Amino acid sequence: MSKRIIVMMLASVLSVATIASAQTSEKASEVKPVTEAKAPRLTVVEPIKDFGTVAKGDKLDWSFLIKNTGDADLQIIAAKPGCGCTVADFDKVIKPGETGKVNAHVDTTAFAGPIAKTIALETSDPSTPSAQLTINAIVKPYVEAFPAGFVRFNMLLGDVETQYVTLYSEEEEPFAITKVETPGDWVKVSYAKIEDPAQMAPNVGRPGQAQYKVAITVGGTDARIGPIADKVRFTTTSRHQPQYLVSISGVIRPAFRVEPSGINFGEVVPTDPAATRSILLRSNDLKAPERFSVTKAESSISGITAAVKPTANRGEYEVTLQVGKAAKAGDLQGDVKIYTNDKLSPVVTIPVRGTVKGAAGSASK
């Protein structure tokens, strides 16, 4: 091959390479630079708010400032308060560069000593999806009760019980009770200043400060069956804590229970075992069940007799209903009255139903 041909081939190869390189450069210049996606950024201005020492019963309200330092909308998905803290409201969307709020509330009525109440934030910030807000305080009771700020009753309807607490104060100024509010007539409260130092609650309150003996009486004819969950409100001369609440809890139960509350014989023949039914009455008095008694039982239905006898258990009675052999075929409808010594419910009425079958197995017409 001649040198001239070789030179021409090399020139052709170089030309093709130059053109390819130029085309690659042009394509590369057409590619746009990659930019980062916009995103919100959560910044809590003051994540912890310390109220210092506060009086028990104070309501602590605070607005936490939430700033969006990103370049996209910040969404607050949830603001979940811990125990003892509530969130009134919060800004759900915060624009870039703007500041929103999470409004928190803490009622210190049920606390004493150091507290730390938290709120858990859930946000749309991809780098910081969650954050915690905290309210700190030292709750000081300026008015308190000994041995505790609550009383509990477990009693029968109609009974009356009294429990006692002593109210004392840490105030420097003279302490006194000026007003008492009860939840109803079934709660009665009396109080008196303790004059004898030997009767005062020991090692509580400011030395030399007055103490008050408080009697809380629950029950009587105005009480109702069911759980007790109420409060007695005391107004005092305390400058820091003028209101003090004593909780009343427990239950008021009926004096006795009846099982069953109604009788249905169904279709019976007087000789069937089902023609005899029983009603049990049991005392709910755990201390002295024998105080309860059943004196008699009367049936208003012709052909059905009622008899009373005590069982082997104290405070328990059995009333036996019997369809007599002479009972006429047909429907039974009426009631049985059971007489007790209970003052509030002396008579119990039990409805009775049934059908006495005739000789052919059906009620006569």
Q: For residue 51, give the nearest of 114, 101, 102, 121 by alpha carbon.
A: 114
For residues 3-13, average pLDDT: 53
The whole-number pLDDT of residue 15 equals 55
pLDDT at 179 over 60: yes
Please indicate whether residue 56 or residue 349 has the higher confidence score (pLDDT).
Answer: 349
Considering the domain architecture, whether residues 338 and 265 belong to the same structural domain is answered as: yes
The whole-number pLDDT of residue 364 equals 40
**Residue 9: pLDDT band with limits 50, 70, 90:** low
Considering the domain architecture, whether residues 147 and 239 belong to the same structural domain is answered as: yes
The whole-number pLDDT of residue 360 equals 40
Considering the domain architecture, whether residues 241 and 324 belong to the same structural domain is answered as: no
Q: Which of 116-120, 220-224, 278-282 has the lowest mean pLDDT?
A: 220-224
Cα 349 to Cα 352: distance, rounded to the nearest angstrom: 10
Considering the domain architecture, whether residues 71 and 121 belong to the same structural domain is answered as: yes
Per the domain annotation, does 29 fall within a domain? no
Please indicate whether residue 192 or residue 9 has the higher confidence score (pLDDT).
Answer: 192
Q: Which helix (H) or strand (E) holds 230?
A: strand 226-236
Phi/psi zone of residue 354: left (φ > 0), alpha (ψ -120 to 50 degrees), beta?
A: left
pLDDT at 25 over 60: no
Per the domain annotation, does 20 fall within a domain? no
Considering the domain architecture, whether residues 126 and 51 belong to the same structural domain is answered as: yes
pLDDT at 11 over 80: no
The whole-number pLDDT of residue 132 equals 95
Per the domain annotation, does 276 fall within a domain? yes
- Pairing label, strands 150-156, 243-253: parallel
pLDDT tens per residue, range 292-343: 999 999 999 999 999 999 999 999 999 999 999 888 899 999 999 999 999 8
Per the domain annotation, does 27 fall within a domain? no
- Residue 177, phi then psi, degrees to nearest 5: -90, 130
CATH code of 112's domain: 2.60.40.10
Considering the domain architecture, whether residues 161 and 91 belong to the same structural domain is answered as: no
Q: Which helix (H) or strand (E) holds 249?
A: strand 243-253
Considering the domain architecture, whether residues 207 and 243 belong to the same structural domain is answered as: yes
Domain ends where: 140, 168, 189?
A: 140
**Residue 149: pLDDT band with limits 50, 70, 90:** very high
| Percentage of the chain exceeding pLDDT 90 | 77
Per the domain annotation, does 19 fall within a domain? no
Structure tokens at 172: 């420097």
CATH code of 220's domain: 2.60.40.1510
Considering the domain architecture, whether residues 119 and 95 belong to the same structural domain is answered as: yes
CA dihedral 283→284→287→292, nearest 10 degrees, is -30
Considering the domain architecture, whether residues 233 and 321 belong to the same structural domain is answered as: no
How many structural domains does the chain have?
A: 3
Burial of 203 (0-12, 13-18, 19+ CB in 10 A): exposed
Per the domain annotation, does 11 fall within a domain? no
pLDDT at 349 over 90: yes
Considering the domain architecture, whether residues 134 and 62 belong to the same structural domain is answered as: yes
Domain ends where: 253, 284, 317?
A: 253
Domain that holds residue 75: 42-140
Considering the domain architecture, whether residues 170 and 122 belong to the same structural domain is answered as: no
Per the domain annotation, does 32 fall within a domain? no
The whole-number pLDDT of residue 33 equals 53
For residues 153-159, average pLDDT: 93
pLDDT at 28 over 60: no
Domain ends where: 76, 108, 140?
A: 140
The whole-number pLDDT of residue 362 equals 42
Considering the domain architecture, whether residues 159 and 228 belong to the same structural domain is answered as: yes
For residues 345-355, average pLDDT: 95
pLDDT tens per residue, range 214-248: 999 999 888 999 999 999 999 999 999 999 999 99
Per the domain annotation, does 72 fall within a domain? yes
pLDDT at 6 over 80: no
| Percentage of the chain exceeding pLDDT 70 | 88
